[in-house]
Structure 1
Amino acid sequence: MLVRDAMSSVVLTIGPAHTLRHAARLMSGRRIGAAVVLDPDTYGVGILTERDILNALGRGQDPDTEAAHAHVTTDVVFACPDWTLDRAASAMVRGGFRHLVVLDGTEVVGIISVRDIVRCWVGEGRAVEAGSTAVPV
Structure 2
Amino acid sequence: MLVRDAMSTIVLTIGPAHTLRQAARLMSARRVGAAVVLDPDTSGLGILTERDVLKALGAGCDPDRETAHRHTTSDVVFAAPEWTLEEAATAMSRGEFRHLIVLDGQETVGVVSVRDVIRCWVAHGVPRRDGAALTA
TM-score, structure 2 as length reference: 0.89
Matched residues in 2 for 1:92 and 1:4: separation?
16
Q: Which runs of 4+ in 1 moved over 6 A?
A: none
Structure 2 counterpart of 1:118 = 118
Structure 2 counterpart of 1:81 = 81
Q: Which runs of 5+ in 1 are unaligned?
A: 125-137
1:15-56: per-residue Cα shift (whole Å, max 9, x none)? 110000000001111221100000131361000000100010
Give the 5 Å matches for 1:1-137: 1-42=1-42, 44-123=44-123
Identity %: 74
- SS in structure 2 opposite 1:8? coil
1:45-103: per-residue Cα shift (whole Å, max 9, x none)? 00000010001001100000001011000000000000000000000000000000000
Matched residues in 2 for 1:14 and 1:117: separation?
24
Matched residues in 2 for 1:80 and 1:115: separation?
18
TM-score, structure 1 as length reference: 0.88
Give the counterpart letter for 2:56 in structure 1. A
Q: Which runs of 5+ in 2 are unaligned?
A: 125-136
- SS in structure 1 opposite 2:92? helix
Matched residues in 2 for 1:43 and 1:96: separation?
25
| 8 Å contact from structure 1 (residues 43, 74) kept in 2 | no
Q: How many residues are aligned here?
A: 124
Matched residues in 2 for 1:66 and 1:76: separation?
21
Matched residues in 1 for 2:31 and 2:40: separation?
26
If asked which structure has higher relative contact order (CA below 8 Å, sep 6+), I would say 1
State the superposition RMSD in angstroms. Answer: 1.0
